[in-house]
Structure 1
Amino acid sequence: MLNKEQLLSYGDIEVKELLLDLLLKGLEAVDPYKAVKRVISRDNKSIKFVDKTLHVHGKIYVLGLGKASCSMAKAIEEILGDLIEDGLVVTKYGYSIPLENIRIIEAGHPIPDNNSLKAGVEAFELLKKVYENDLLIVLISGGGSALLEYPADNISLDDLIKTNDLLIKSGASIHEINIVRKHISRIKGGGIVKHCKGIILSLIVSDVVGDRVEDIASGPTSADTSSFIDAYRILKNYGLWNKVPMSIRKYISKGLKGEAEETLKELPNRVYNVIIASNEIACKTIYEEALRRGYRAYILTTTLEGEAKDTALAIGSIIQEIYRFNRPFNKPVILIAGGETTVTIHGEHGMGGPNQEFALSTSRKIAGLHGTAVLAIDTDGTDGPTDAAGGLVDSYSLNKLLNAGIDVEEALHRHDAYNALKKINSLVITGPTMTNVNSLYIIGILGLST
């Protein structure tokens, strides 16, 4: 699955191999199938999770949304078996796996498509079947916001697509993007809770910085603290208010006047939201594995945010300080971070994603620091609209780029990190990982001679 041989074809091979091994450990720790199995168990018709037990007197239904939903659903089917009355999961194209009885719809991500709307209609039909004594198990993971959609009012798919595209390219954070999404949707911002009469148990794989439940897949089973005013301000602040379609402006304007229903503001006590896998868990596992192998290790942050190429320069400066002066940490050392950086697109652009751009930008700072490498990946295996998960660069990468005729500054300016890294065998290709806990950044500063 991992293109390890290609990545280890040049440069600081020992440190790069170590980072790839640590990555696989981290991904294993947030495998959604295993996470569900760890958290959920069955005792006849009772469902046990964490330190609670739900005694189910009615039927059990399953609704999944997100890139990890099929793996989660497979585990639920194995645990609950014939107790499941009906179920539906919606996942990204290419991310489905065979299930026994739960239906699967593949849909578009990061931009919703017709199948996203189809899934929304089928999800609402499923919710109508759930009565007071029934249990709805909701399986939530990253990507669910685009994959499952039921627009508010008369908002069309084309209008949703245009709005999503403008938001993604604006440089807005995922938290800001989701605030707007929640206020033009019937599903997001607690919409599932509003339209379901039964008990709800949500098992959540978090892909959001800080693990705020209301932000994960735009919080379909969570209370929401944002408002139409916030959605309006975000569109204004990023210069998008006059660019989004008229139907979006009309609906948000109705909300500002109190003529459209707000998102869910208070969570009923019949709803349980449980985070079963997160970026923090992945980072902690990588940290523990590095220690087990005899290295110093530090988690710098699990909330890394900012423009990818600029954040990379800041991290690169820390790497230089450690390499040259052994401060704030002595080398050899492994540094770990998690979070989600962004890329702001202006005009025509090439191919890439935030993690590829992070890696390419970092190559400028670590050139010549032998025994140093930086790995940046999106844990779902897809960084931006590409087939790459991210990039892996070392102290030789910049020189290889220059020898290949790549102008790194121009590639960053054009957001064409994919083609630059591809030229030097530095794209990380994992294929679908069936999980999604945001981005991981693993840095090795060993100071080895190669």
Structure 2
Amino acid sequence: DRLDTIASGPACPDSTTSGDAMRIIQKYDIELPSRVLHALKKETPKALENVETKIIGSISIACEAAVKAAEKLRYNSVILTSTLDCEAREAGAFLSAIAREITSRNQPAKRPCAIILGGETIVKVKGRGLGGRNQELTLSAARGIDGLDNVVIASVATDGTDGPTDAAGGIVNGETLMRLREKNIDVEEALNNNDSYHALEAAGGLLKTGPTGTNVNDLIILLCK
């Protein structure tokens, strides 16, 4: 929630210095026009007059709102993290491992429970399919919850757009892989081709919200009854 990093912080004091920029240029031996170098050497203003900035939305606030909504439905709710930052498939595998632990041992939370995460994952694009980080996360998670009853994992981009698609993200449960098998879709092949969109579409697991008017990273929810 650093103000100078939100939307590049156009109305906030810049905490970096011209020296920081010059060190990066020198480190990577970047060639720039002389007029650009001249501009970079000028120190940026560190205070702005007549400006008051307030944060009215953040991923932390979104996670807290998810907790309140889940608790109204009588789920024991836990915010696991609001700073998730890893590869999407790894996040999906991790979430499915938590789901299995809850299902078999009622830990780290007792059922019915909601495990809530915020942040933003990345995708290593190697294929030519269609998808986004949230879709890839949920399709990966589907592998680890295959056959589990009363488990749902959803992951959505809060701006309503996940990757170059019309979906905000995906939602899967213990029957997702069964639906894919019935349609002769190989989940591993879909993941290797980064084609989570079409796999989730076939399984009825795409979430579409349209533009939401906000953007505070991604919200991921694991529900276990």
Q: Fold conserved (TM > 0.5)?
A: yes
Structure 1 consecutive aligned stretches of length 4 or more whose deviation exceeds 2 Å: 222-227, 229-234, 251-255, 258-265, 267-271
Q: How far, CA to CA, are the matches of 1:354 and 1:402 in structure 2?
A: 23
Please give the per-residue CA displacement for 1:229-270, whole angstroms capped at 9, x wherever unaligned. Answer: 575489x5xxxx8xxxxxx74259964xx6634673622353
1:431 correspondence with 2:221: no
- Say which SS state the counterpart of residue 56 (structure 2) adopts: strand
Change over 3 Å in CA distance of 1:360–1:233 after alignment to 2: farther
- Say which SS state the counterpart of residue 77 (structure 2) adopts: strand
Please give the per-residue CA displacement for 1:108-129, whole angstroms capped at 9, x wherever unaligned. Answer: xxxxxxxxxxxxxxxxxxxxxx
Q: How far, CA to CA, are the matches of 1:325 and 1:228 in structure 2?
A: 51
Match of residue 221, structure 1, among 11, 19, 28: 11
Pairwise mapping of residues 198-209 of structure 1 onto structure 2 (< 5 A)?
Answer: none
Change over 3 Å in CA distance of 1:333–1:406 after alignment to 2: same
Q: How far, CA to CA, are the matches of 1:261 and 1:275 in structure 2?
A: 31
Aligned to 2:150: 371
1:293 correspondence with 2:83: no
Match of residue 195, structure 2, among 412, 416, 424: 416
Q: Which has the higher contact order (CA 8 A, sep 6+)?
A: 2
1:266 correspondence with 2:56: no
Q: How far, CA to CA, are the matches of 1:252 and 1:224 in structure 2?
A: 23
- Shift of residue 224, structure 1, vs aligned partner: 3.0
- What residue ranges of structure 1 are gaps of 5+ in the alignment? 1-210, 242-247
- Shift of residue 223, structure 1, vs aligned partner: 2.7
Pairwise mapping of residues 14-413 of structure 1 onto structure 2 (< 5 A)?
Answer: 211-226=1-16, 227-229=20-22, 231-232=24-25, 249-251=31-33, 255=37, 260-261=40-41, 264=44, 266-346=46-126, 348-413=127-192
Does the CA-based 8 Å contact 2:75-2:111 persist in structure 1? Answer: no
Q: How far, CA to CA, are the matches of 2:90 and 2:22 in structure 1?
A: 30
Letter in 2 for 1:327: Q
Q: Highest CA radius of gyration, 1 or 2?
A: 1
Does the CA-based 8 Å contact 2:15-2:46 persist in structure 1? Answer: no
- What residue ranges of structure 2 are gaps of 5+ in the alignment? none
Change over 3 Å in CA distance of 1:445–1:386 after alignment to 2: same
Please give the per-residue CA displacement for 1:407-433, whole angstroms capped at 9, x wherever unaligned. Answer: 212211221111111111111111112
Report which of the two has the higher share of strand.
1
Letter in 2 for 1:425: G
Q: How far, CA to CA, are the matches of 2:90 and 2:14 in structure 1?
A: 31
Does the CA-based 8 Å contact 2:12-2:48 persist in structure 1? Answer: no
Does the CA-based 8 Å contact 2:11-2:48 persist in structure 1? Answer: no
**TM-score, scaled to structure 2:** 0.88
User: May I ask how many residue pairs the two structures share in their alignment?
Assistant: 222
Please give the per-residue CA displacement for 1:23-79, whole angstroms capped at 9, x wherever unaligned. Answer: xxxxxxxxxxxxxxxxxxxxxxxxxxxxxxxxxxxxxxxxxxxxxxxxxxxxxxxxx
Comparing 212-221 and 391-400, the one that deviates more: 212-221
